[in-house]
Structure 1
Amino acid sequence: MSSADLAHAAALHTLYSDHHHWLTGWLRRRLGCPQNAADLAQDTFVKVLVSRQAARIDEPRAFLTTIARRLMYDGWRRQDLERAYLESLAGLPEALAPSAEEQAQVVETLLRLERMLAGLSSKARAAFIHSQIGGLTYVEIAGLLEVSVSRIHQYMVEGFKQCYQVLAE
């Protein structure tokens, strides 16, 4: 183990020892469920572990709450997306409904797509979805969004860049 790895492990151990109980309590007050709070606290420390930033944290509680909040919001967003998808399936005859495994795959794909497009403006996101999912031409999209075709080209470049960045993570 290198000295950098040892320093990271020691910093992570100290961070966990000093703040895990506090973070779990903070999350419990916000979530109202001790089990979800414990899971989210653990996920927060996993993020810190993977980020390898434990040795460079100046404000540990602010750092941990920022990560925990993002994980909470991601969880809520996932629940909302999953609920909307399942509601859309409710009207299908049972014979046409996808299996539980297929449903899980669709939800994961939708979440990944959402992460890919999250950094785009609403018009850029709409242009990208109309083009890549809806199959519309740039001229049709420009008419819908009331912008020029060259602006649609710019939106598409932004969309593809955003997707590549998320895929590279």
Structure 2
Amino acid sequence: MPISPDLSNVGWLYQEHHGWVRAWLNKKLGNSSDAAELAHDVFVRLLSKPKAFDSEGHARAYLSAMSRHVCVDFWRRQRVERAWLEVLSSRPEHCMPSEEHRAMVLEALQQVQAMLERLPPKVAEAFLLAQLQGLSYQAIGERLGVSARTVTHYMAKAMFQCLLLEAELDEALS
């Protein structure tokens, strides 16, 4: 029995649009299994934040945007995972972490990457310059063309996001 064309009904939207969402993702990713998984993620996201649409065109546009977002998230996760595996490959066998530890570190790295990408670009750059290169706020300010006081504000924003992420990770582990 077909589901009624209710633009707020995720089941109907899934039935009508899942095929083209999966095909679009497959074209972008070149991998049908990843495309199928991400197509399901699009509709899971829609289930977690239900939305009513004015028209089928509006629903399709929204699903297109969500498909692009899951694709970008997928590529971002892959990039972080490749970097982590590269670091691991340079370590001696006896120093390798357990699979569980590797998965936990990868998840944390992906969340840190996502947090950095949510920050305004100059805030993220200031944070990385301080944390990875150990530059002073004055040196960061000179590099970014802002005052040391502005760098202090940037760092406060970044550290606040780090605290939120830490609380989120602590909650997930407990």
TM range (shorter): 0.7 to 0.9
- Deviations along 1:64-87, whole A, 9 cap, x unmatched? 111111111111111111111111
Residue of 47, 53, 56 corresponding to 1:56? 53
- Residue range with higher mean Cα deviation, 44-53 or 21-30: 21-30
Unaligned residue ranges in structure 2 (runs of 5+)? 1-5, 169-174
- The aligned residue for residue 137 of structure 2 is 141
Counterpart for residue 44 of structure 2: 46
Alignment of 1:7-156 (within 5 A): 11-53=9-51, 55-56=52-53, 58=55, 59-131=58-130, 133=131, 136=134, 140-146=136-142, 147-156=146-155
Instruction: Say if 1:130 and 1:141, in contact at 8 Å, map to a contact too.
Output: no
Cα distance in 1, alignment partners of residues 140 and 82 from structure 2: 29
CA RMSD of aligned residues (A): 2.8
1:10 shift after superposition: 5.8
Task: Please give the TM-score of this superposition, normalised by the length of structure 2.
Answer: 0.75
Residues of 2 paired with 1:77 and 1:45: CA distance? 20
Q: In the superposition, relative to structure 1, how do residues 77 and 142 fare at CA in structure 2: closer, same or farther (>3 Å)?
A: same
User: What whole-Å deviation, never above 9, does each CA across 1:111-161 have from its counterpart, x for those lacking one?
Assistant: 111111213244311332455x45958xx2322442432112210232245
The alpha carbon displacement at 1:49 in A equals: 0.5
* Distance in 2 separating the partners of 1:17 and 1:37: 16
- Shift of residue 9, structure 1, vs aligned partner: 9.6
Amino acid at match of 2:38: L
Query: What per-residue deviation string (whole Å, max 9, x for no partner) do you get for residues 78-117 of structure 1?
Result: 1111111111222211122222221111111111111112
Go from structure 1 to structure 2 and tell me whether the alpha carbon gap of 1:22 and 1:155 turns closer, same or farther (over 3 Å shift). same
State the distance in 2 between where 1:31 and 1:39 align.
11
Letter in structure 2 aligned against 1:143:
A
Partner Cα separation in structure 2 for residue 160 and residue 70 of structure 1: 26
Q: Distance in 2 between matches of 1:111 and 1:30?
A: 21
Cα deviation 1:3-50 (Å, max 9, x = unaligned): xxxxx9962122112111222222222222222221111110000000
- 2:127 and 2:154 in contact (8 A); partners too: yes
Query: Identity over aligned residues, as a percent?
Result: 35
Q: Structure 1: which 5+ residue stretches go unaligned?
A: 1-7
Aligned equivalents of 1:100, 1:145: Cα separation in 2: 41
